Structure 1
Amino acid sequence: MANLTDLPNIGPHAAEQLAQVGIATPDDLMAAGAEQAWLKVQAIDPGVCLHMLYGLEGAVQGIPKKELDPARKQELKAFMDANRPA
């Protein structure tokens, strides 16, 4: 798997944003993890939303974001809330 768009939840727009912040391959995303990838995207798009974070986590886990564990979704929401731009 060489393209980010081969991962679940990663469409062309998300792949473009990730590439802009230095995450160009699935391996790059796996190494960064969902939270760090989301923070990098937030630096270029302050309006990046919770659904992007869920999508990134789903991509890391190899599942659609709707299948994320509810407890993990709560963790991700708390992370986003704690890392909103001032």
Structure 2
Amino acid sequence: MKKQHPVVERSRQRLAALGHIESRTQFGGYALAVEKVVFALVSEDALYLRASEALQEYVAQQPLQPLVFRKRGSAVNLNYYRVDDALWDDARQLLALSVASLHAARQDVMARQAPRRLKDLPNLSLRMELLLHEAGVKSVRHLVELGAKQCWLRLKAINQHIGFKTLLALEGAIEGRHEATLPQAVRAELNAWYLETLKRADS
């Protein structure tokens, strides 16, 4: 049996909550993907996470080295940042940023796909499409751009009966999967946000 690259194996172990992580050779290293969506690269024995809003905020506080790819003698900065020792040691932060990277990558995949009606996405019915239209979300692209949380807040503003299951349904729709198959790490992060949002609303 062929032995896997140590950084690839370490990444799989640390980020198992994302789901099954596949690897393939790319840019002289490895691309890491969940369900064929690439969220990280391994280059020269280092892990690089794909840029996301959360990662950009982290980098603003804790600078990380960008991945530089040399093409025909020219240096090209890729949209990935190196996981340093401090981040490796912070398992919770590393997982949270990896979740954000995977989410951002999935959003890009969805945005590149041919436009469809909202009701054609997983978890969304014609009734939910009409509710989203009423909330000002009228296209798949707009849903992806806003993200599940902002769309949920818009729905909640017009229908107080909207709950956690709808938040999961929206996230699943954006990621192109049934809400029951969302990774545990994603469900946990959404649940924490949901509870905090309800708490703020009650205070």
Question: Which TM-score applies when normalising by structure 1?
Answer: 0.94
| Structure 1 residue 26, shift from structure 2 partner | 0.6
Tell me, which stretches of 5 or more residues in structure 1 are unaligned?
Answer: none
| Structure 1 residue 54, shift from structure 2 partner | 0.3
Aligned-partner SS, 1:83: helix
Listed one character per residue, the Cα deviations across residues 23-72 of structure 1 (whole Å, up to 9, x for unaligned) are 01111100110010001101011221111000000001011101100111
Counterpart residue number, 1:36:
150
Divergent runs of 4+, >2 A: none
Tell me, which stretches of 5 or more residues in structure 2 are unaligned?
Answer: 1-114
Following the alignment from structure 1 to structure 2, what is the Cα–Cα distance between the partners of residues 43 and 16?
15
* 1:6-85 matches, cutoff 5 A: 6-84=120-198, 85=201
| Structure 1 residue 2, shift from structure 2 partner | 2.7
Following the alignment from structure 1 to structure 2, what is the Cα–Cα distance between the partners of residues 72 and 20?
27
Give RMSD over aligned pairs.
1.0
Aligned-partner SS, 2:153: helix
Higher RCO, Cα 8 Å, sep 6+:
1
Aligned-partner SS, 2:160: coil
Q: Select the structure that is richer in helix.
A: 1
Q: Does 2:121 align with 1:3? A: no
